[in-house]
Amino acid sequence: MASFTEMLGAKLMSKNGEVATAEALAGKKAVGLYFSAHWCPPCRGFTPKLAEFYTSSLKAKGLEIVFVSSDRDENSFKSYFVEQPWLALPYSDRELKEKLSKKFKVQGIPTFVVLDGETGTTITTDGRASVIQDPTGEEFPWKPKPFAELFGESFLKSVASDEKVGREATEGKVVGIYFSAHWCPPCRGFTPKLVDWYKKVQAQGHPFEIIFASSDRDEAAFKEYFGDMPWLALPHGDKRKEKWSQAFGVSGIPTFVILDKELNTITKDGREVVSEFPEGDGFPWLPKPPAPIRDLAKPKGIQETPSVVLFMETTPAEEQEKLLEELEPLATKYRDAAWEKEDKEPEVLFFAAKSSEGPAPRVRSMTKQEALPPAKHATSLPPKGILLDLDDNGAFYELEGEVTAAAVEKFLADFKAGSLTRKQCEN
């Protein structure tokens, strides 16, 4: 239970006052963190449903819920908490609330995160969908099933004849799941590219199939759209579609997921695969570890993950390479630690601005760094290191002194310990 005490603090609020976190959550099969607020209309719509399901079924099955408030003042929090039959994080602990929102990447409310009651590990960050689909808790605590169990046995081959094929049509093949809809302009833009790419992969003889998982609003639109596709599909309205979307955390379309022959995930960003291998080569597109230190000109991930940024735009190329070589073992340690995890989400990213291309000038400006000298001047600025934490409302931290591997390692240790001085990015 130490994990919940560390995560939520020593005390929680009940209707009868403070309770010890360890005592209140002891023996629970699962713990739900309910990020919500009274001012939020969707929250006010969902809260009574969650309360009904909790009271009638889910509490008895071992679920406890902790309300994590985004209310604007304590009086609003209190009036809203009265309606809720569970526990709450003390409103006064705003810093802890922000840490929880950041930890679970809460982008909007209501959000219902479900954690394992014994280990505190995340079961799902989309507990709202789990509750709506299973209000009596028949599948509680909603631990994700292997996708092979959700895959099913029948797929639509042709919209013209309603011909269906069985699971044997995908046996021994790499499988793409294409979440799309005719009403979605980006989908209509990507679908012809995917059709062309699919045909190239097929022409090369690779064992590969795609299944269309439609978000079309009616069967007529589905049939019209599927008619342009040379692969398989789920029938319109098939219940597997929602389970598949939930399994892969699909939050927007088009989304193209690629699975191996055992239906394990290769990548949830199949669109990037299509872009990287436009001729259909590279099969089966197994993920490769990214570079330990990435180019700031392509800052993928910098918005969500704390990132060490090295400014070295005016540093001579030979000195750049020497410094990057020194820092590479540290960056590799962080990358490899993430790569061993199933979700592969790194604790820290590393970026280098070796030129003023791309977003480097913008990042330099927003973190109030010294402006680069005009190109016609030979003046060189020394390398500078910062840690950018945009997910923390635009925070950054400055590395004082010379940039070395030892200095950056200590810098990161101090960041984790919370002993650095936080600064605010400018817009």
Q: What is the pTM of this model?
A: 0.69
Helices (DSSP H) in 238-310: which residue ranges?
Answer: 240-247, 270-276
- pLDDT value of residue 118: 93
- Contact predicate 411/385, CB 8 Å: yes
User: Does residue 43 share a domain with residue 110?
Assistant: yes
pLDDT of 374 higher than 90: no
User: Does residue 124 share a domain with residue 31?
Assistant: yes
User: Does residue 395 share a domain with residue 346?
Assistant: yes
381: domain CATH number? 3.40.30.10
Distance (Å, rounded) from C-alpha 66 to C-alpha 8? 9
User: Does residue 199 share a domain with residue 239?
Assistant: yes
User: Does residue 303 share a domain with residue 239?
Assistant: no
- Contact predicate 350/293, CB 8 Å: yes
pLDDT of 107 higher than 80: yes
Cβ within 8 Å of residue 356, ≥6 positions away: 313, 372
pLDDT in tens, 43-92: 999 999 999 999 999 999 999 999 999 999 999 999 999 999 999 999 99
| pLDDT (mean) for 222-230 | 95
In the sheet with 122-124, reading across from the earlier edge strand, the strands are: 17-20, 11-14, 87-88, 63-69, 30-36, 111-116, 122-124
Does residue 138 belong to any structural domain of this protein?
Answer: no
Amino acid code (one letter) for 132: I
Does residue 281 belong to any structural domain of this protein?
Answer: no
Does residue 42 belong to any structural domain of this protein?
Answer: yes
Distance (Å, rounded) from C-alpha 124 to C-alpha 142? 8
Does residue 299 belong to any structural domain of this protein?
Answer: yes
Does residue 284 belong to any structural domain of this protein?
Answer: no
- Contact predicate 379/373, CB 8 Å: yes
pLDDT of 2 higher than 60: no
| pLDDT (mean) for 278-306 | 92
User: Does residue 259 share a domain with residue 196?
Assistant: yes
Q: Greater confidence, 270 or 145?
A: 270
User: Does residue 415 share a domain with residue 300?
Assistant: yes
- pLDDT value of residue 1: 45
User: Does residue 124 share a domain with residue 30?
Assistant: yes
- Where is the domain boundary, 276, 305, 323? 276
- Which domain, by its residues, includes 111? 2-133
Distance (Å, rounded) from C-alpha 369 to C-alpha 375? 17
Distance (Å, rounded) from C-alpha 64 to C-alpha 27? 10
- Where is the domain boundary, 133, 165, 185? 133
User: Does residue 216 share a domain with residue 117?
Assistant: no
Cβ within 8 Å of residue 266, ≥6 positions away: 174, 258, 259, 260, 284, 285, 286, 287
Does residue 141 belong to any structural domain of this protein?
Answer: no
- The closest of 295, 313, 297 to 383, measured between CA atoms, is 313
Does residue 282 belong to any structural domain of this protein?
Answer: no
**Structure-token match 């609020």, residue found:** 13
pLDDT in tens, 119-162: 999 999 989 989 998 999 999 999 988 999 999 999 999 877 77
* Overall domain count for the chain: 3
- Where is the domain boundary, 74, 101, 133? 133
Quickly state the pLDDT bin for 210 (edges 50, 70, 90): very high
Task: Report the percentage of the chain scoring pLDDT > 90.
Answer: 81
